[in-house]
Structure 1
Amino acid sequence: MRSPLPFSKPFAVLVALACAPAEGIELGQVMIQESERTELEAASERLQQVPGASNLIDLTRVEQGRVSSNQDVLAYQPGVYAQSAGNEGIKLSIRGSGINRAPGSHGSGVFVMLDGLPLTGPGGTPYELLEPLWLSRAEVLRGANGFNKGSLALGGAVDYITRTGYDAAPLQVRYEMGSHGYRKRQVSSGQVLGDLDYYVALTDSDYDGYQNHTQGNSQGIAANVGYRFNPNLETRFYLRYRETDNELAGRVSKDSIEHHPRAANPVYVARDASRPQPGSTWLANKTTFYLDDDSQLETGLVYHDYPMDLREGANRLKVAYTDVSGSLNYHRRDTLFGHESKTTLGWRTTKHLPNSGSSEFVRIPVGNTAGFAPGTKTRDFSYQGSDSALHASNDLELVPDLWLTTGLALIYTRRESDVTYPASGGKVSQHDWDYAPRVGLRYDFTPQLQVYGNISRTVEPPHPWALIWSSNRYFPAGSGAATGLQSTPVELQNQTATTFELGSRGESAIGRWDLAWYYSAVRHELLTVETQTATATTSQIVGEVNASPTVHQGIEAGLDSLLWERAAVGKVSLRQAYTFSDFHYRDDDTFGDNRLPGIPRHYYQAELRFDHPLGFYAGINTQVASKIAVDYANSFYADHYTLLGATLGYASPKHDWDTWLDLRNLTNKRYAATVTPGYNDKGQDIARSTPGEGFGVYAGVSYSFR
């Protein structure tokens, strides 16, 4: 009776093995493989029960190539746009979420979780703890479909699931190396020891970078330990700690990408711009109580400390963030008027601790700070915020195979910001209640054909730091080193959207497919724009504003096809992902119906692959993107591009040896990978883009001692 609940089948296998004779050591491998299979299948089954679009990513496939950042994890996923910003940070946009926010220290627009617990806080989503080699799988719930995860973001939720003792080898070593000085190493171990299991991984990397002045390195540890007290109670503790240090090349122009693709912005080189992350810590616990065969209660508690040391401008910004999160989820299965019913009640909250804030110091005495010694304090800030969501949903089977989903979430957000030194220009404090209803239907015509639809609302508050950096009020002359810097925070409204979605997924002669169409009417969209360009005497300032009404609509399509198969020879398969994104203003007074800049309108990825029964594989792949507007006036565009790549490797049938060769950008195409938009460039080629990586050769090997 416990089978629909998480971890039940692996637990049953564990009990059987505990009772087995000692000489049956090989059964431990069977248990690990069985647990891997059932966990992935259970995740797939859960996502199939959501009346909306989702992605399930098995890291086993991803690890058959270079795994340097989450761009590699999120490749070939319909509806997901993920591009490297020249280092570990990626620009991630789902359904236009955070479309114009600069890739860097904090992502926006998507609610990111680690093992079902919050990573995203009021300050955004830092990237340094998202080491992809620590993962077993990733689950993406696009748009409002992240509802049951407690996500109310426009882009939905991404849940990164760490390996445990049940799906890790007792000892594994992995080494990657390649072009542009890239090297990555990991050693990990995971085992089941009676009622206890553990996983621990040590990872480090270093690279010179494709673009000049993009050298970086990282080192970190991930660990978790779980214990089953009895069949009705289990708990798991998590630790992640990681340090990163990245040089910054800044944005460059289209002409620079075409003629000098590896050149950095001269201003950033002169300033030796960099972004050290002194060390981020994520500690968490998740405990599950199986109350009976049809209900369970899950509690979560998270401590997250993520300081930053930003040295990219003329001033140095030292930022302190500490969040505490709590969550509570109750799941129940009943029979209601003779119909099967599944109910979820959830609560989650994340709050900045009082030490959250930042201090700014003179780094290079230029402009208004000329004459002040390096290290002179310019400003102190305070950042405070909290996000709390209470959500309830129900899935009711109206007739066989037709399910009605209903839900309602209440969200309370608090944002406070103040410049406390050299003087307070006036504290801004915002407290908002909002709501997010949801209604959906899904119908399984056959086990191979499902259709769905939903109408949902999302709510996204601004970040506390945006209240200061978006201000147009400055310290006057005579304010010392703070002269000319923002003095007074501004108020920003919560971004809301109402989304209508229709879709279908299934399997047929053409393969396994997923197709979704959505339309979002967005109000008060939080859009980013560069308000001051970095020059020899000024630092770059990127502000955020609430836009007039906008529309986000698009089509997301994925298809995995088996083209040919012979048992003794192998198989040929093709996977494809296409995303059409139409994001534009709705009768704006200045920009009319202009496109929102930042990502391509058309984005296509595909891989054609041959797999041999002995474990050898080879594939060719492509990535195609249309041109990207680089300003809100749509006066200038980054060019469209087509990339080609190839892979060759061997995955041992015994699951011990893996080795691969990964060739990127075979034609050495010069293109803009990301764009940070301006307001109105008047057709000029302004430095707003990050160049994509040129031709690269990467190789790797891993060995698992089982």
Structure 2
Amino acid sequence: MPPRPPLSLSLALPPFTLHRHWPALGLSAALGCVPLAHGQDALELQAVQVSGAELDELDAARAALRSVPGGSNLVDLKEAGAGRLANNEDLFKYQAGVYAKAANNEGAKISIRGSGINRGPGAHASGLYEMFDGLPVTGPGGTPYELMEPLWLSRVEVLRGANGFERGALALGGAVNYVTRTGYDAAKLQLRYETGSHGYRKRQISSGQVLGDLDYYLSLTDSGYDGYQAHSAGSSQGVAANVGYRLNPDLETRFYVRYRETENDTPGKLTRQQIEHDPRAANALNLTRHSERPQPGSTWIANKTTLQIDDDSRVEAGLVYHDYPMDLREGANRLKVAYTDISGTLNYLRRDTLWGHESKTTLGLRTTQALPNTGVSEFVRLSTAAYPLGTRTRNYSYLGSDSVLHASHELELLPDLWLTTGLAAIYTRRETEVTYPQTHDRLSLHTWDYAPRLGLRYAYSADLEVFANLSRSVEPPHPWASLWGANKFFPASSGPASGLHSGGVKLDNQSATTLELGGRGDAWFGHWDLAWYYAQVRNELLSVETQAAVGNLSAIIAEANASPTVHQGLELSLDSPLWEGGRAGRVALRQAYTYSDFHYEDDERFGDNALAGIPKRYYQAQVRYSHPSGLYTGFNAERVSKIAVDYANSFYAAPYTLFGATLGYDAPGGAWQTWLDLRNLANKRYASTVTPGYDDHGKDAARSTPGDGFGVYAGVSWSLN
């Protein structure tokens, strides 16, 4: 079982004093929300001295997540880094409720409780609100993936579904907070190198230190791969840094910078038959077009400042600049996309005694505004007799803003029984306009919405906690979805713009009302975490490929609000000690199971059909032997059920089972580590991701991306502490 934070310290102290010792806690700022077990005496604050050695940030974050009346995950990068860390699929292994699958490049399809179910990998993580160090990454245009470098992180905090309310997130899938290392948890110097099959290689050099009231962290990474499929090579290089400074015992600030470039060839999707017989082939059309997706350089610059007003209250303020251009060379036309937005956050946290009961209040405001240069310039990429290479076809803009004012309150009604209430007001703006060859049908949508939340959490004992919540989530459409889902096109007399979208279509906000029940605890069989949820979704935003790419014509992707849908599921994780041998080592079993039943509710066309895109059943397990000397070895398995590839449920990607193994050594003291990671031992041919269609009438359409075959990966890391 994973170690539990010491109750005598981590559960008794208010979070505000702890914050003075750890300047960048992220979700761990809510540490004091976890009550003492019934009958345990509270410690006097003046009599306790806390140091980083006694309580680290990971324990604080774990305790904070346990205070949420709903499902959550904590990814420890020390554990995740004991093998290949190429992308988000590697990062989110063995995390119940999180479906993450990569497709040849770094872009992974991530779905939580049905978020982004209908999209392909790298599609801006639709349905999730993502953050770096508690500050916004997701904007009106979505969430780009190129800044998600796992080697820069110390941990990842996930609040699944409506539980994202705790961070001001209101998307269907919830909140994901990627927490960067700082000088407080980084080595003075660290070198890491990974290499393996299909031309994979990755390097990192990093440094972090505490120098009095100042600390810093700096990391440089680069990577490259030839890819499993033909025409799937890629590369990346980037840097992450942050500097924190404690101006006085009550005021501290931290500056963050991330910059990264990526370049990926795109091999395209295959049919089920192709995956079974020739999975390394690329889609013929993608080869003809030499499709690729350069990300010329994304920049994220931020500041977070915390003022400790007194022992019971503090204020946190954040400011973010985010620029993420793209150069899409996948279709007949080349799209040069400019996305830039600026975000601000302000949070006030207070602890009181209300009618003799402990009370905690959070007031928060976050807003993200797309800047005017956000838009697309489109040019002819495959020249014809009529239009040579580089001919401009269209210009169009994607503008918007998201603003959320949220308030939440926690009250200990009885010893160990906590009531959570919350309410958020949401204002969204979406604007789309085609400005060339001439201005057409400017679309401007302004919407107010709301999201209430009610939760209960009861700590029956130190080893058993149960929870329930009823919450509403709201998700606005992407501005680009309004254009690409429209049925408005330029007439044949419009030159190179003929047949292309000329205006946008109105899309409503997606909303969901979710009931969740669950619990967590420790028992003879191990540490367990269980959540069941049922969500009534209205106006679900579904995007499907309604016309495949043919010749020089690109595929047509339509976005629309669906008829009523239901998302329900079960999320279970279990960490079990199988054998404790003392000096001979230990054997542990780690399991994660996710059941996802997402379907229409008496749709006029599709009845109660399943929503296509992800499996109904997803299971992962790992048996691991660890020796006190630092040697470890493990065997892992993954089982995925069949996946519908269209909304008519006329065809399915095949179910599959994968096996893998690891062997490694972690030197005592953590000075160096090395590992061997074997993937897909049986060389199984399978579909890693599915991008759904509308109705394939039982035909085997090219909608799937093959997963990697058998692979051997090795790595080594050295640290100077």
Tell me if both proteins adopt one fold, taking TM over 0.5 as the criterion.
yes
Q: Secondary structure at the match of 2:163?
A: helix
1:4 corresponds to 2:15: yes
Alignment-derived partner of residue 485 in structure 2: 470
Residues 101 and 121 in structure 2, CA contact (< 8 A), matched pair in contact too: no
Deviation for aligned residue 1:425: 2.0
Residues 1:42 and 1:238: Cα distance change in structure 2 (over 3 Å): same
Alignment-derived partner of residue 160 in structure 2: 142
Deviation for aligned residue 1:32: 14
Deviation for aligned residue 1:36: 9.5
1:165 corresponds to 2:197: no
Work out which of the residue numbers 192, 213, 216 in structure 2 matches 1:195.
213
Write the letter of the residue equivalent to 2:95. Answer: Q
Residues 1:469 and 1:220: Cα distance change in structure 2 (over 3 Å): same
Deviations 1:586-605 (A, max 9, x none): 00000000000000000000
Alignment-derived partner of residue 389 in structure 1: 404
Structure 1: gaps (5+ residues): 12-30
Work out which of the residue numbers 218, 221, 244 in structure 1 matches 2:239.
221
Alignment TM-score, normalising by the size of structure 2: 0.94
Mapped to 1, the partners of 2:671 and 2:369 lie a distance apart of 43
1:86 corresponds to 2:107: no
Moved more, 480-489 or 530-539: 530-539
Q: After the TM superposition, list the runs of 4 or more consecutive aligned residues in structure 1 that deviate by more than 2 angstroms.
A: 1-11, 31-37
Residues 2 and 8 in structure 1, CA contact (< 8 A), matched pair in contact too: no
Work out which of the residue numbers 659, 667, 671 in structure 2 matches 1:652.
667
Work out which of the residue numbers 360, 368, 379 in structure 1 matches 2:378.
360
1:427 corresponds to 2:449: no
Deviation for aligned residue 1:9: 4.2
Q: Secondary structure at the match of 1:392?
A: strand
Deviation for aligned residue 1:102: 2.0
Alignment-derived partner of residue 582 in structure 1: 597
Q: How many residues align structurally?
A: 685
Residues 1:404 and 1:33: Cα distance change in structure 2 (over 3 Å): closer
Mapped to 2, the partners of 1:7 and 1:207 lie a distance apart of 41
Deviation for aligned residue 1:532: 2.3
Structure 1 residues 378-527: aligned runs within 5 Å:
378-527=393-542
Alignment-derived partner of residue 64 in structure 1: 82
Alignment-derived partner of residue 177 in structure 1: 195
Deviation for aligned residue 1:365: 2.6
Residues 157 and 176 in structure 2, CA contact (< 8 A), matched pair in contact too: yes
* CA-atom RMSD in angstroms: 1.5
Q: Secondary structure at the match of 1:538?
A: coil
Q: Secondary structure at the match of 2:305?
A: strand
Deviation for aligned residue 1:2: 6.9
Residues 1:423 and 1:680: Cα distance change in structure 2 (over 3 Å): same
Alignment-derived partner of residue 127 in structure 2: 109
Write the letter of the residue equivalent to 1:150. Answer: G
Alignment-derived partner of residue 668 in structure 1: 683
Mapped to 2, the partners of 1:105 and 1:409 lie a distance apart of 27
1:599 corresponds to 2:614: yes
Q: Secondary structure at the match of 1:473?
A: coil
Alignment-derived partner of residue 339 in structure 1: 357
Deviations 1:276-320 (A, max 9, x none): 000000000000011100111000000000000000001000000
Alignment TM-score, normalising by the size of structure 1: 0.96
Deviations 1:491-548 (A, max 9, x none): 1000000000000001111101000000000000000110221122211222211000
Residues 1:32 and 1:613: Cα distance change in structure 2 (over 3 Å): farther
Write the letter of the residue equivalent to 1:55. Answer: N
Residues 647 and 661 in structure 1, CA contact (< 8 A), matched pair in contact too: yes
Work out which of the residue numbers 323, 344, 350 in structure 1 matches 2:341.
323
Work out which of the residue numbers 643, 646, 649 in structure 2 matches 1:634.
649
Deviation for aligned residue 1:8: 3.5
Mapped to 2, the partners of 1:455 and 1:656 lie a distance apart of 47
Identity of counterpart residues, as a percentage? 67
Mapped to 2, the partners of 1:586 and 1:35 lie a distance apart of 53
Mapped to 2, the partners of 1:10 and 1:162 lie a distance apart of 13
Mapped to 2, the partners of 1:601 and 1:114 lie a distance apart of 30
Structure 2: gaps (5+ residues): 1-11, 24-48
Residues 9 and 35 in structure 1, CA contact (< 8 A), matched pair in contact too: no
Deviations 1:440-490 (A, max 9, x none): 000000011000000000000000011111111110011010001011111
Q: Secondary structure at the match of 2:441?
A: coil
Write the letter of the residue equivalent to 2:378. Answer: E
Structure 1 residues 248-397: aligned runs within 5 Å:
248-365=266-383, 371-397=386-412
1:693 corresponds to 2:705: no
Deviations 1:23-63 (A, max 9, x none): xxxxxxxx999469520111011111100000011000011
Write the letter of the residue equivalent to 1:420. Answer: T
Mapped to 2, the partners of 1:338 and 1:2 lie a distance apart of 18
Alignment-derived partner of residue 613 in structure 1: 628
